[in-house]
Amino acid sequence: MVYLHVPFCRSFCTYCDFYSELCGRGASFKAYADAVCGEIAGRKDEIRSSRETDTLYVGGGTPSVLPPDVLERIVGEIVNARGGEGGFSEFTVEVNPEDIIEKGEAYVRSLLRMGVDRISMGIQSFDDQLLRWMNRRHDRGHALEAFRMLRRAGVGNISIDLIFGLPQLTGELWRQTLETALELSPEHISAYQLSVEPGSALARMEEKGTWSAAGEAQCMEQYGTLCEVLSDAGYHHYEVSNFARPGFEAVHNSAYWRRVPYVGLGPGAHSLSGNVRRWNTRHMPSYSSESEVLSEEQVRLETIMLSLRTDTGLEEDRLRSMADNQSVDRLLGEGALVRAGGRLRIPEDHFFVSDEIIRELV
């Protein structure tokens, strides 16, 4: 399982704190590719051994700003590191709608020839005013057209990202957003509640008092609408923020929630192998790697937290061995945990408060 971080953007979103560099400010695609290919060469054994889940995910940043030949070169090096075996079980690339519009269907077909079989597109909203506030590069019309271009080019597995929990997002507008999304009929929808990340433009706005977060009641109502509308449309709510048509659940991301080992490539990327977490520094194009050995307590906390974000939960015996049994019994009695086939999980109507439930257990 391999994750490739592409640290380039043409603009920074209001809410984002992921590591990225603005294109055109000394950022060199070639220097980036040289650095990543050098890292791949030095981590061949790791890459070859991380095959429990045979996926490749290209995220960012904005991967769709990379020229196809640059991405193809890096993917080729990853394939070589795996012993020359291509054909990932899932190969996802994140894209921005505006890049699809600008580069056209020929660009999309070049991704498909590379082996990409899943596209994740950051739409976030279909409201032009909200998109401008987020500092997104696209508008509603381009988001819709970009999705149709992906379909026309032959992409059969498309995920879209949406954001809720903005104070200026009314309940009516949120429902309209979901209805528009369903008219496109994507295979997967990820919907995230807006959060204030340290270092983001949004955090600075909050510090200055020019913006205030939405209240919990508004966020809970919008999350309830999300669950209701997508459930009625036949989507499987398999993780707190993720919904899929049956059979289109994200293989790569699902492996994260099971703590499957993975190799993270590129500046700012993280890796996991057993109880060792490794991360690359945020420097372009030269970056280094640091690591830490996770304690048994850290592994316990991660296992509980990640598992209970999913609709499969955790084996009851295993959860009881890691958590306070009185808390487990109390949460079962309150309906905040339910049994399902020998496992314990948080039911959908408690997903919104899953963090609080998990805190009670750990």
Count of beta carbons in the 10 Å neighbourhood of residue 276: 12
- Determine, yes or no, domain membership for 46: yes
- Determine, yes or no, domain membership for 51: yes
Distance in angstroms (rounded) separating the CA atoms of residues 59 and 235: 24
Same domain? 84 vs 159: yes
Q: Concatenated DSSP letters for 181-193? A: HHHH--SEEEEEE
Handedness of CA 63, 65, 71, 74 (dihedral sign): negative
- Determine, yes or no, domain membership for 94: yes
CA distances for 143 relative to 158, 180, 283, 331, 347, angstroms: 13, 11, 32, 42, 33
Same domain? 233 vs 311: no
Same domain? 153 vs 207: yes
In this prediction, residue 26 carries a pLDDT of: 46
- CATH code (residue 172): 3.20.20.70
Name the stretches of the chain with pLDDT < 70.
Answer: 18, 24-27
Kindly state the tokens that stand for 221.
Answer: 């109502």
In this prediction, residue 27 carries a pLDDT of: 57
Say whether the peptide bond before residue 26 is cis (omega within 30 degrees of 0).
no
Is the whole model's pTM more than 0.75, yes or no? yes
Domain, as residue range, for 182: 2-257
Same domain? 172 vs 126: yes
Same domain? 43 vs 180: yes
Tell me the pairing of strands 8-9 and 188-193: unpaired
Helix (H, G, I), strand (E, B) or coil at 44: helix
Total structural domains within the chain: 2
Same domain? 189 vs 329: no
- Determine, yes or no, domain membership for 167: yes
Handedness of CA 44, 80, 99, 173 (dihedral sign): negative
Would you say 266 and 50 are in contact if contact means Cβ atoms under 8 Å apart?
Answer: no
Cα Rg of the chain, angstroms: 21
Closest of 330, 282, 263 to residue 57, by C-alpha: 263
